[in-house]
Amino acid sequence: MTSVDQETEKDKQAFWQKLQAFVGKEIGPAQLSPDEVNIPMIRHWCEAIGDNNPIYLDTTAAEASVHGQIVAPPTMLQAWVMAGLKPRVLSGTNPYEDMNQLLFSKQFTSVVATNCEQTYDRYLHPGDRLSMTTTIDAISTEKTTALGTGHFVTTRQDYFDQNNQRVGSMLFRIIRFRPATRKNPSPHVVRPRPATTHDNSWWFDGLQNGKLFVQRCTNCQALRFPPGPVCPSCVSMDWHPVEAVGTGTIHSFVVTHYPQVPGLEYPLPVLLVDLDEGVRMVMNPIDTDIADIAIGKKVDIVLLATDDELTLPFARVHK
Ligand SMILES: [Zn+2]
C-alpha cells in the first residue's frame, strides 16, 4: 500500500473514480414522516423562530391571502421527516457507510458540514404527509482547504407528498478530510484537535505550558469551566486564570463502546471529574484499569501531549 504522502495525481484520480461509483445511489428506503403537516408543530416552529406571519397560524388571514388557506413555513421542510430521538437504523448494505469506509481507508476521517441549500416546489398545508428519499448527489475531486485535504460529499434529500409529487429538496454538503499530520505522534494517545476560539485558546495554551487553569471571575470570585467570556453568576466580563492543583474525584463516568471515532481506542472510559477547586471537567483516564474506575474515586490529573501542538488533561485513577 502506498503512503498517502507518496500519492501521485494518477492515484488520486483513480481513487476519485472509485468514489464516483457511489454518486446517484439512494441511501435506504424512503422515509415516511411520523406526522402529517400540522398546526401544533407549525406553532412551535413559529414561536422558536419568532416568525409572526399570520398565514402560518391565523385561519382568517391565511384564507384572505394568496394561499387561500394555512400554509407551513417552507423552511420547516426537513422538520416534517425528522426521526426525533429514535434514529433510523438501516438494515443490509448502506452505500453511504460503504462510501465512508472507502474514505476512511485513505484517512479522510474528519468531517465538517459546510453548507445546505433548500429548494421549495410548493407550499405545504396541514394534512400533507411527506416522505423523503436520500441520494448521494456529488463527490468532489480531492480539495485542499484550511481544514485539511479531502473530498466534499453532497447528499440530496427529495421530499414528496401523499400523491408522490415532489414538494421540495435539500442539498447538504460536508467535507471528509484528513486531519492535519502530526509530526511527532505520542505513542500513548492521540486525540482530535479541539475547535479553539478567542474565548478558550488561552486554556489550551495553558495546558501546552504545563498548567491546568480554571477561570475565576474577578468581580464575584466564582470559578467556572469550561472557559467563557462572561461570568454565569454575575455576568461580569472580568476574569483571571487560577492554576488548579491537579487533584479531583470522579463524579460520574461512562465506558463508551459505540459509536467509534476513528483514531480512538475502545472501550473508551469518559470521566466527569470534580476538581478539588470545585469545577467539573470531562476527561479520559490514563494508566488505569477500567475495573478501577468508580464514582467517588480520587484521581490525579496528568497533562499529556497528544501531539506536537496539543496537550490535554487525563485522570490517573487511584487504585
Ligand atoms: Zn462573577
CA of 245 to the centre of ligand 1 (A): 22
Q: Output the pLDDT for position 54.
A: 96
User: What rounded mean pLDDT belongs to the chain?
Assistant: 91
What's the pLDDT band for 3 if we cut at 50, 70, 90? low
pLDDT value, residue 315: 96
Q: How many domains does the chain have?
A: 2
Q: Is residue 311 part of a domain?
A: yes
Phi first, then psi, for residue 95 (nearest 5°) are: -60, -30
pLDDT, tens digit, for every residue of 239-297?
Answer: 999 999 999 999 999 999 988 887 788 899 999 999 999 999 999 999 999 999 999 99
CATH code, domain with 142: 3.10.129.10
> Rounded to the nearest 5°, which phi and psi values hold at 164?
65, 25
- The helix or strand, by DSSP H or E, that contains position 102, with its residue range, turns out to be helix 95-104
- What is the model's pLDDT at position 186? 47
Cα–Cα dist 77/37, whole Å: 10
Whether residue 249 sits in one domain with residue 144: no
Query: Cα(316)–Cα(278) distance, rounded to whole angstroms?
Result: 18
CA of 215 relative to ligand 1 center, distance in Å: 10
Distance 304 CA to ligand 1 centre (A): 31
pLDDT tens digits, residue range 35-77? 999 999 999 999 999 999 999 999 999 999 999 999 999 999 9
In whole angstroms, what separates CA 44 from the centre of its chain?
Answer: 24
Same-domain status, 25 and 140? yes
Ligand 1 center from residue 231 Cα (angstroms) = 5
Q: In this predicted model, which residue has the larger pLDDT, 305 or 136? A: 136
Nearest CA-CA partner of 272 in 241, 233, 315? 315
Average pLDDT over every residue of 234-240: 97
288 domain residue, yes or no: yes
Say if 16 falls within a structural domain. yes
In order of 9, 79, 88, 178, 222, the CA distances from 5 in angstroms are 11, 43, 38, 12, 49
What pLDDT is attached to residue 147?
A: 76
Residue 188 lies in a domain: no
65 found inside a domain? no
Residues 250 and 129 in one domain: no
Same domain flag for 17 and 166: yes
CA of 216 to the centre of ligand 1 (A): 8
Whole-number Å distance between alpha carbons of 107 and 262: 9
Residue 206 domain-assigned? yes
Give the Å distance between the CA of 204 and the centre of ligand 1. 22
The sign of the CA dihedral 142, 146, 148, 150 is negative
Centre of ligand 1 to C-alpha 211, Å, is: 23
Q: Which residues contact 16 (CB under 8 A, 6 or more apart)?
A: 139, 141, 142, 151
Backbone angles phi, psi at 173, to 5 degrees: -115, 135
- Name the percent of the chain lying above pLDDT 90: 76
Sign of the CA dihedral with 228 first, then 229, 235, and 238 last: positive
Q: Is the pLDDT of residue 188 over 80?
A: no
DSSP annotation of 91 reads: -
Burial of 119 (0-12, 13-18, 19+ CB in 10 A): middle
- For ligand 1, the distance from its centroid to the CA atom of residue 303, given in whole angstroms, is 28
Are 210 and 270 found together in one domain? yes
Does residue 149 lie within any of the structural domains?
Answer: yes
208 and 169 within one domain: no
CA dist 175 and 9 (Å) reads 20
pTM of the model: 0.59
**What is the rounded distance in angstroms from the CA atom of residue 268 to the CA atom of residue 256?**
5
Domain hosting 304: range is 201-317
The answer to whether 74 and 120 have CB atoms below 8 angstroms apart is yes
Q: Are 207 and 191 in contact (CB under 8 A)?
A: no
